[in-house]
Structure 1
Amino acid sequence: MSADSVSAASAASAASAEGLPALVARHAEETPHALAVMDGDTTLTYAQLVTSARSLAAHLRAHDVRPGDRVGLLVPRSARTVVAQLALWWAGAACVPLDPAHPRPRTDAMLADAGVTLTVGDSKLLEAIDTAGPTLALPDEPLLTGEESALAGHAPHAAALVLFTSGSTGLPKGVTVTHGGIAGLVTAPTYATVTARDRVLFHSPATFDASTFEVWSALANGAAVVVCTAERPSFEDLAQQVERHGVSVAFFTTALFHQLAARRSRLFSLLRTVVVGGEAMASQHARAVLRAFPWLELVNGYGPTETTTFATAHRVTDADCDGPVPIGRPIAGAVTHVLDADGQPVAAGEHGELWIGGSRLASGYAGRPELTAERFVEHVSLGRLYRTGDVVSARPDGLLDFHGRADDQVKVRGFRIEPGEIEHILREQPEVDDAAVTVRRAAEDDARLAAFVVAAPGPVPGAETLRTRLAERLPAHLVPDELSFVERLPLTVSGKVDRRALTALHSAPADGGTIEPLSPLQQAVAEVWSRSLGCEVNRPDADFLALGGHSLLALVVTDDLREELGVKLSLPDFFATPTVAGHAALVERALLADHSDLHPDASEDTTHGH
């Protein structure tokens, strides 16, 4: 082991022992005026961050937050997110991040599972979710009262975050991530370069485990967090954040990386380190980026939330792109084993299930002891391990290759999804006899969640009606991009749903009727849609979501419209009217507004009929 590796290991060990809040406090003492957090409107030095967090911790304790409590956090992504999370830790509580976009039934289930005693956050968001439990609105401005809370101690195994992932029973499951797990991941990392001179982009939802890397890899190493406050940042939003604030390190889900790579985004010309994770990395995109931006440190990260974000990582080289990109070797205290169905090691090159151990395993699932015992196993000779359900093989030098899932769990746009969760809710609908959910790949780097429904006797609801009902109970990433009606679900010889055969099925024929001709502007919009959706779009009432569009493809379309028509559409506007005619109207309105700015008399001339 090199001297640098020994130094990094000892730093990570020390951080795990004393906890991240103490490490951030030490940075505040050593470099009080160094930039810690910025979100466009707010900048906080390390001294200001620590003072604000300690003051807020005192405020929380005054409202009966006690060590060991689980506290929900509901705030828009901003500097306050970082201050509040640090303050909760300072008060000794575990943070349960909540997403204001999630339907209320899902949020209620999360609060119950996690054993949340109080939910704090933005007053308007708290009113909107209208939870039955106690709530506390956080001050609008950072508290700088001079009243500061003493730092609560944090044992490495103590709960830091409860992050929810998709569950096969129709309910999300909360992964209890420990202080030691996060500290070990982010302190003096050897798998990616993060130094005190860096600025790390925070653009993931706080409910997504990637946010632990984005926020705490910066603050554990004296670097700055650059918060992207746009709720759904477009490609251009991300590029502007990186450009304007000198971001040098960023994480992207694999699907987002593929889209940015295909467009040769200028992001890559500005960044030094890019960490990618969530799904299998496409070799052609990795190679294209490395050849266009040869200085880039491109890291392929792998790891379920249960192993604290990343368990393995690999710095990708051009040579790696001759075949599937490996997921690398264990990092930051993780230990990996490739085992057969009997829990015995397999030989190099042979496929087996990846089991993960080491110091960063989660405590288990909040409120789910049976599931915890099933997935976190005490192996007879290898100790406590997490069964990933992923199939891998090890090369002779120990490098791991990923070969997919052992079960039906899938990943779409970085989100881990249990099809059973969606199927469960579909089958609860009175008009549905059966349902199956799988992934359809329109292209190698375009995965779409597809639902196939067998209708019950009687009137059949429209696909959009069912998608709307799902959206009332599930977060957006669990609502299928496509929903098709089929006469029956294909089965394998063993009687299980044949998910591969599902993707070959087609939906019931759409309603007939005359297709209205497209106006020139609608035609321009339709051509942009057609390229992204991979199908011909030829009618004004064509619906982006019904055609398989999703949030990532929406980023592609808005970026193409900006480049080709000179109009920037916001994502909220995009999804408010997701038809060709609706988008054409938005484009026309924006073009007229631009014309009016250039010619002040234009609106007056129009009014007078000139």
Structure 2
Amino acid sequence: MNPPFAASCVPDMIGRAAMHAPDAIAVEAQGSSANYAALEARVGMLAARLRAQGVAVGDLVAVCLPRSIDQIVAMLAAWRAGAAYLPLDPAWPESRLATLIADAGCAAVVAHSGLGARIAGDVALVPPAGGDGAAMVAPATADPNSLAYVIYTSGSTGTPKAVEVTHANLAALIDWHQAAFAVGTGTRTSHLAGLGFDAAAWEIWPTLAAGGTLALVDDATRLDAARLRDWLIAERIDVAFAPTALAEPLVAMAWPADAALRVLLTGADKLTVRPAPGLPFAFVNNYGPTESTVVATSGVVAPDGEGLPSIGLPIAGTSIHLLDEQGASVPAGEPGEIWISGAQVARGYRGDPALTADRFVEHPEHGRLYRTGDLGVLLDSGEIGFRGRVDGQVKIRGHRIEPAEVAAALNKLPEVATCAVVARDGALIAYVVPADGAAPTASALRAALAGTLPDYMVPARFATLAALPLTANGKVDAKSLPDPETCAMEEAPAGRAPASPTEKRLLDIVAGVIGRQDIGVDDDFFLLGGHSLLGTQVVVRARDAFGVDLTLFHLFEGRTVASLAVVIEDLVIAKLDSMSDEDISRMAAG
């Protein structure tokens, strides 16, 4: 394995990799691939079309494409044109996509024409393919202090925050990653993180900057732990990232001793398990907010140990400070707020100098710090234990969420007079005071929010209150909010009961997994608080109940009991069609 290429910025590193080995495969995606020479050619053509649409050095280009070679090309093309990129997930509500594009001040949007036309507004729309193959553009010189990308996170003010990450920030992440995990020419890395999740940058750029191969997984596989394990083995992946909800079942599974996987990285949620003994790869837990360029601490998780796994040690070039409210260091063993300094601390929040000044501060002893709002403790091992949040910010399905942003969206609805949104047991709960004369249902509020918020930000439960409990100083008294079951909002007057034995049996399974009996066959599993781990339970129980090869992707596609029942019945019919008369007779005989 050759050592990684040394250069100051990622576009330079990738250019050197292409010059060194133009025929090496850069990206693989579901049966198609592009070598480094072809990748560079496609990047040059798209960059020329961006320039022709007026994209200039210092601009921002939104990239709203599904996981594909086109998506990788588009992000690189933004850099080639001298701009930064804003990654957007096409699965998000169109109104949210349009709002983010306008809010960020994008100069262009790279998207397919249908969706692109609906979200671009007055911004130039550039399709990912097309144009004159001879049209190329010389690479813009990347300035380490210029922006590499912008990523939105949930905001406490009710609006998302746009974090600005520079080329220098990203290069520091890559330098550490390549050295820590021996990533170089020929290394095969998977790409399965969410398209608007900053972990995607962690998967993509260290690999391509080193001349390795990036393998893109399909959505059906990336959402199913068993299928993902089989894919990682079959594709001979060396280094992979999986969000906590997927990584936890992966490290409990059996793996062949000759698996190529050397490192399985995880992060996003609090890790609650340790790996099974004898796995052929290192299992590495990581912590870091978007504002510190994906990763701030990292540590190998041992199969044995007391308590929850730690979040490891600060990575190279990064320092962690555990401070009290006055900015003084706390004693070892005492919880303190995690403040981060070092080369990966981002520039700040786009278009919000006041919030930037509040969160990115000059400390008299430690210099420029980002205050995370997370609590940590220095353990006897020297590693850091994660202890939750200082404020009300929470993690839901791996995404950092400000409940205030969800509350702000709810308060815009005419049926809502006021509300409070809190997190309990890993789910969002909305306490709603209805407007005069209004009688909102939970399903109607979910549907309204789903038009503006990603599904992971839609509350799982809704409760109705005559008034919100307040503290003496007029703030919502979160501790006095009642058990939502005691004041649960009506789900939907038209909540449909099961119409077939399949729907009845499947509804019982889903209700048992969710822990609720007030659901109908048309209710969205994920808007009820379902996530991939609970979905895995539904799939396993349904496989046993119906004897079919159901997958988590079927649940993500169908989302409701009614839709999933149709899939199950089709699978049963297909299974029967493939069986002989003797097989059917034996099955009927029990």
- TM beyond 0.5: yes
Match of 2:95 in 1: 105
* 1:36-81, Cα deviation, whole Å (9 max, x unpaired): 1000132111222222222322332233221111111121110111
Structure-2 separation of matches of 1:491 and 1:42:
58
Structure-2 separation of matches of 1:86 and 1:196:
19
Structure-2 separation of matches of 1:260 and 1:185:
25
Match of 2:488 in 1: 508
Match of 1:162 among 139, 150, 154: 150
- Give 1:171-570 correspondences, 5 Å limit: 171-187=159-175, 189=177, 190-230=179-219, 233-235=222-224, 237-261=227-251, 264=253, 271-282=261-272, 285-286=273-274, 289-291=275-277, 293-319=278-304, 321-395=305-379, 398-441=382-425, 447-491=426-470, 496-499=475-478, 502=481, 504-506=483-485, 507-508=487-488, 510=490, 520-535=501-516, 544-545=525-526, 547-550=528-531, 553-558=534-539, 560-562=541-543, 565-568=546-549
Amino acid at match of 2:439: V
SS, match of residue 47 in structure 1: helix
Structure-2 separation of matches of 1:552 and 1:128:
33
Q: Give 1:137 shift.
A: 1.6
Structure-1 separation of matches of 2:256 and 2:536:
15
Q: With the length of structure 1 as denominator, give the TM-score of the two structures.
A: 0.85
Structure-2 separation of matches of 1:93 and 1:568:
46
Q: Give 1:272 shift.
A: 2.4
* 1:312-347, Cα deviation, whole Å (9 max, x unpaired): 11111134x311211122113112111111112222
User: Does the CA contact (< 8 Å) of 2:495 and 2:519 recur in 1?
Assistant: no
Structure-2 separation of matches of 1:464 and 1:513:
10
Structure-2 separation of matches of 1:52 and 1:577:
35
Structure-2 separation of matches of 1:483 and 1:186:
43
* 1:68-95, Cα deviation, whole Å (9 max, x unpaired): 1111112111011111111211111110
Structure-1 separation of matches of 2:293 and 2:240:
18
Q: Give 1:492 shift.
A: 5.5
* Residue range with higher mean Cα deviation, 525-534 or 250-259: 525-534
User: Does the CA contact (< 8 Å) of 1:311 and 1:330 recur in 2?
Assistant: yes
Q: Give 1:290 shift.
A: 3.3
Structure-2 separation of matches of 1:120 and 1:105:
17
| 1:591–1:41 Cα change, 3 Å | same
> What percent of counterpart residues are identical?
38
Structure-1 separation of matches of 2:21 and 2:479:
56
| 1:537–1:402 Cα change, 3 Å | same
1:593 aligns with 2:577: no
User: Does the CA contact (< 8 Å) of 1:518 and 1:538 recur in 2?
Assistant: no
Match of 1:80 among 70, 87, 92: 70
**RMSD of the alignment, in Å?**
3.2
Q: Give 1:408 shift.
A: 0.4
Amino acid at match of 2:347: S
User: Does the CA contact (< 8 Å) of 2:340 and 2:372 recur in 1?
Assistant: yes
| 1:474–1:514 Cα change, 3 Å | closer
* Structure 1 unmatched runs, 5+: 1-6, 442-446, 601-610
Structure-1 separation of matches of 2:543 and 2:15:
44
SS, match of residue 25 in structure 1: helix
Structure-1 separation of matches of 2:74 and 2:431:
42
| 1:464–1:516 Cα change, 3 Å | closer
SS, match of residue 116 in structure 1: coil
* Paired residues, number: 575
SS, match of residue 187 in structure 1: helix
| 1:430–1:35 Cα change, 3 Å | same
Amino acid at match of 1:170: G
Structure-2 separation of matches of 1:208 and 1:549:
19
1:20 aligns with 2:10: yes
Match of 1:606 in 2: none
Structure-2 separation of matches of 1:463 and 1:290:
41
Q: Give 1:300 shift.
A: 0.8
SS, match of residue 157 in structure 1: coil
| 1:594–1:180 Cα change, 3 Å | same
Amino acid at match of 1:508: A
Amino acid at match of 1:395: L
| 1:294–1:24 Cα change, 3 Å | same
Q: Give 1:30 shift.
A: 1.9
